[in-house]
Amino acid sequence: MTISERPSKLSLPQASAGIATVLEYLVIKFPYIDAQIWRQRMVDGKVHWHDGSLITAQTPFQPQQRVYYYREVESEPSIPFKETILFQDQHVLVAYKPHFLAVTPGGMYVNEYLQNRLQRSTGIEALQALHRLDRVTAGLVMFSVSPDTRHLYHQLFETRQIHKTYQAIAHIRDDENLVGQEWRVKNRIVQGEPRFRMRVAEGEPNSDSVIRCVQQTTQKALFELNPITGKTHQLRIHMQTLGWPILNDKCYPHLQPESADNYSAPLQLLAKQLQFIDPITQQPRHFSCNNNLLLT
């Protein structure tokens, strides 16, 4: 059994809807975790309030209070790829995330994720990711170093003042001549089935990307992608919408059976650049990783 080194946290909602205890809420909130597992975590002292006082199976539900708990998995894979810190000052840290490494804990990953690795290597416990990349996507991730200025950088992402550039590779037909062409893709992306897989639905668009082809061979093409919005799996779905699903995508256009990661065939999607005006210095910032996707 592998136990998380750091607690996960959630805030209880204002309305309890008849829920009497914290345990009842957790069982409803996490339907795939058996109630007995939560009871045992509570017995073991692995569920507590913000002040460290323990939560038991009988602890009453308290609206808007923060609950801390320690996630457990039977066996956690070790990701054999190394992250790189590209920039760090007193406000932000920018790192390159390799394929297959999660940014934050989730699923079978409770310690093996980018934020935890960086907290260990830098000693900065307050380090917090300002945005996310899919676990199978490689590229730049920006972290807040100081809680005092974190809200300023969060606001850049919330107000779409961060200009992001990605690279992607997809198979094409040998009769397609795409280099130099550009497409604007807008559609409505909603949660699909299973829940982690998104889908396009009717209705007002909530996703927007600009995609251009910059290089091609007879069978593959390299695309540059600029997401204007930031919906889950947006670029993967928008490439599928254009008819060129990203190479080695196990979710789109078809969900493949669950299997171990194939480290020799990573998803061909890379978060290449981040550009913005720094909210503190008012100076332009431009970060780019040295890695590139290559047509072979």
Domains, the chain, with CATH or none: 2-73 (3.10.290.10), 84-161 (3.30.2350.10), 164-270 (3.30.2350.10)
Other Cβ atoms within 10 Å of 141 Cβ, number: 26
For 89-108, what is the mean pLDDT? 96
Assign 71 a pLDDT band (cuts: 50, 70, 90).
confident
Start-to-end C-alpha separation, the chain:
41
Confirm if 284 and 162 have CB atoms less than 8 A apart: no
Token digits of residue 15: 């309305």
Query: Which of 7-21, 30-44, 269-283 is modeled with the greatest confidence?
Result: 269-283
State mean pLDDT over 65-87. Answer: 94
> What is the overall mean pLDDT for the chain?
95
Nearest to 66 by CA among 82, 83, 50: 50
Residues 90 and 211: their CA atoms lie apart, in Å, by 34
Rg of the chain in Å (alpha carbons): 21
Considering the chain, what percentage of its residues have pLDDT values greater than 70?
100
Q: Which of 20, 27, 63 is nearest to 42 (CA)?
A: 27
Pick the closest to residue 3 from 64, 74, 65 (CA basis).
Answer: 74
Q: Are the C-beta atoms of residues 97 and 113 closer than 8 Å to each other?
A: no
Region 36-44: mean pLDDT is 95
